[in-house]
Structure 1
């Protein structure tokens, strides 16, 4: 690559950084930026260098502020749309971190009414208990979205659209209560209790008491107490034994992580706090960690991670933190 190409790439990266932190960027800008970075490793590297310069000198000294929006839009057209995995998103793709910042401000995370007009929601960081039907109670975790299924004015089930909840079926309930999560349907008997979770296009069912039967693609799988089954677009896993005190520690306002990649830990923590923590160093994101946080520590969790693992933190407006 000749010097002129390197200069153009750096100029584009600087323009992107100015525009994305200007407060005027749209969701479409974020998608265009994601495509620009995903188009080549050189683009992504140029943005990392631009961010480093921004940290060292400050945006006013390092970046040109004039004419940014029109030029940024022009440079992003015609690039291939490369799909990023969740690990790439959290393990080193700076591009995706800023695309996600814009997405968080878009309608896809709005709290408007559900199409059927009946829904239950919790905000980021909020938990609550709800009686959804006679003999059916829910413990809803943070950032959870549930639509209620009715037939003839009677609640017959629910659809977990996003988030996490514990469902308890009273021993006195006679009518069935069907729980939909992702593309699976969960049937249970009176006295059963189970947790369902749906995040990042993957779902899990964890049984606490009684027995639940997961039906997916015409196949039934029984989930017994202290077992968990995970499934996604690639298929359904086998039932595995889990420690309920660890897996469902959020019910006690505690998060426990046992030998998990830091990228996955941060992805989960982001559900409990405003803004977002993004790991921009792949090696840091792949480090296996053992950690325990209380929900009261969410405001300082980025600092705790920084101190524990020697990471460098870049603080952005709105609770966004880049760790490298």
Structure 2
């Protein structure tokens, strides 16, 4: 599906902005949105400062409807007996279904499709996809799977990168790289570093040169072969790591060194379509020492079955239960 929006004049009122924002919300939550729709949506956001605010207002409204719909449906039979007209019930059910669809777009079950926020990123990669960006100031970014990045210009003519989610290897030249992930801000000049930001935790690994993290907890310099982790509240001291393991994804490999299977499954899910769901807690505690080609990730359930005797159950939409 392709949607063409008519660009507004300079004096478009807030009501018109709200209507267009609702139209985009319905398009992106329809289940039929295309990459072309996502590109057109980003163009619409950039066309006017009021567009982003209008869309944020509509998004908050729809997000709030998700829990409200569940409460209404739970009230169920008692509430329906008090409704006087069949048409009223039908209108409610239609609204409930629309609200539920939008709610799922913000929180896709099992991560089976991109969340609505993903579509608004400047650059993003799908499951199993990697992408290279060449930005101003000889700045190069290698994006790993399921990564979202936003880029804006700095006063000095460089680029400010926001790693909203995922993983990237960043190579800076004479112009310092500036990267934000969560509550941390990383700067580096003539350096290479790998930055991973998933579920609110960041891992900064320096590969060459020096990377500096500025955080509410202080300023931290990270040298080659060392990695530090941080979240919004804490920064852990840098530790020595094997850069070859950290950057194995750049060579088409995933390397696991005595990691619990539950963590391995989480990582595999980032690279494959569908979803592996670990149902056995004891199985999830098994430690894994493995080197897996990215070409094998689609068949990961067979590898786990053969190595650990897991029972494999295939469900629709690429969901695989491991028990």
TM-score (norm 2): 0.65
Higher relative contact order (CA 8 A, sep 6+): 1
Name structure 2 gaps, 5 residues minimum. 1-30, 32-62, 78-106
Distance (whole Å) between structure 1 residues aligned to residue 253 and residue 292 of structure 2: 6
Pairing of 1:107-118 with structure 2 (within 5 A): 108=115, 111-114=118-121
* Structural RMSD (CA): 3.2
Whether 2:259 is the aligned partner of 1:260: answer: yes
C-alpha deviation, 1:306, in angstroms:
1.2
Cα distance in structure 1, aligned partners of 2:66 and 2:295: 32
2:142 corresponds in structure 1 to: 139
- Partners of 1:303 and 1:31 lie apart in 2 by 38
Q: Structure 1 regions of 5+ residues with no counterpart?
A: 1-22, 36-69, 76-99
Report whether the alignment pairs 1:178 with 2:185.
Answer: no
Kindly report which structure 2 residues correspond to 1:181-220, keeping only aligned pairs within 5 A, or say none.
181-189=181-189, 191-217=190-216, 219-220=218-219
Q: Are 1:212 and 1:222, in contact at CA under 8 Å, matched by a contact in 2?
A: yes
Maintained 8 Å contact 2:112/2:273: no
C-alpha displacement of 1:111: 4.1
> 1:276/1:103 Cα in 2 relative to 1: closer, same or farther (>3 Å)?
closer
Quick one: distance in 2 between partners of 1:323 and 1:30? Answer: 30
CA distance in 2, matches of 1:136, 1:301: 35
Q: What's the secondary structure of 1:268's corresponding residue?
A: helix
Measure, in 1, the Cα distance between the counterparts of 2:138 and 2:269: 33
Whether the 8 Å CA contact 2:131–2:144 is kept in 1: the answer is yes
Residues 1:240 and 2:243 are matched in the alignment: no
Q: 1:104 aligns with which of 90, 101, 111?
A: 111
Number of residues paired by the alignment? Answer: 235
Q: CA separation in 2, counterparts of 1:310 and 1:30?
A: 40
Check 1:216–1:74 CA distance in 2 against 1; reply closer, same or farther (3 A cut): farther
1:292 equivalent in structure 2: 291
TM-score, normalized by length of structure 1?
0.65
